[in-house]
A and B are shown apart, each in its own frame.
Chain A
Amino acid sequence: QSVLTQPPSASGTPGQRVTISCSGSSSNIGSNYVYWYQQLPGTAPKLLIYSNNQRPSGVPDRFSGSKSGTSASLAINGLQSEDEADYYCAAWDDSLNGRYVFGTGTKVTVL
């Protein structure tokens, strides 16, 4: 099972702000960067945020990431219908000789 915990769902109306939390521990989020991936229905995951708060080229600036201690958050400002997707946080975990861990995933619904 995943060591990074996310709420199973989040929702908002178009234009609203939605935030997704990701809770970890000292061996992952507490000591390493956090990454966020977006998975649109029926497609492969896509890198959304890297190194806590950096956006790859092409990712709209309405997506932002932050980290504090052993938790992280993804915010979507000005929610749009095309943002309806599953979102996963991830981080390197220093325990057990190192491994990459994903969060449990959050389904964002645009009402």
Chain B
Amino acid sequence: EVQLVESGGGLVQPGGSLRLSCAASGFTFNTYWMSWVRQAPGKGLEWVASIKQDGSEKYYVDSVKGRFTISRDNAKNSLYLQMNSLRVEDTAVYYCARDRVGAAQGVVYYYYMDVWGKGTTVTVSS
């Protein structure tokens, strides 16, 4: 069974740090792009970051650039999100997702998330 399980969420003060993890199973992890998507309480979905199969390319939404780092360990079938300088507005449920990507020479032909984890909750509050 294809499965993604997030962990690492919790309560942190503004300015603090947190590291999220996502354990993948049931598929060949190192052949897929992976993403983090978040959802603030009562709000819609927001793509946060994505990483290529070998980690050589990483993309971020503007609001987290310089503060969040996406990474992966293919030997451990795991995806990570290091979150520093956290702000109240980063409070959300963070989902790990498997990406289906078709791209060549910098042109994206298709991009979507076909498998999602159940999410982990991050609360930034003093």
The answer to whether A44 and B45 have CB atoms under 8 Å apart is: no
Chain A residues with Cβ under 8 A from B61's Cβ? 99
Q: From A45, A46, A90, A98, give the contact of B59 (CB < 8 A).
A: A98
**Measured CA separation A103–B37 after assembly (Å):** 13
Per-residue interface assignment for chain B, residues 36 to 74, with 1 indicating a CB less than 8 Å from any chain A CB and 0 otherwise: 010000001111001000000001011000000000000
How many residues on chain B are close to A (CB under 8 Å)? 22
The answer to whether B112 and A47 have CB atoms under 8 Å apart is: yes
**Measured CA separation A56–B112 after assembly (Å):** 12
Across chains A and B, the number of contacting residue pairs, with CB separation under 8 Å, is 59
The answer to whether B112 and A90 have CB atoms under 8 Å apart is: yes
Does chain A have a CB within 8 A of B1?
Answer: no
Does chain A have a CB within 8 A of B91?
Answer: no
Q: From B44, B50, B95, B100, give the contact of A44 (CB < 8 A).
A: B95
**Measured CA separation A79–B110 after assembly (Å):** 29
B→A interface (CB under 8 Å) = 35, 37, 44-47, 50, 59, 61-62, 95, 100, 108, 110-114, 116-119
A→B interface (CB under 8 Å) = 2, 32-33, 35, 37, 39, 43-47, 50-51, 56, 88, 90, 92, 94, 96-105
Contacts A90-B112, A100-B47 known; list 16 others, CB within 8 Å: A37-B45, A43-B118, A44-B95, A44-B118, A45-B37, A45-B113, A45-B116, A46-B116, A47-B112, A47-B113, A47-B114, A50-B110, A94-B108, A97-B59, A98-B59, A100-B111
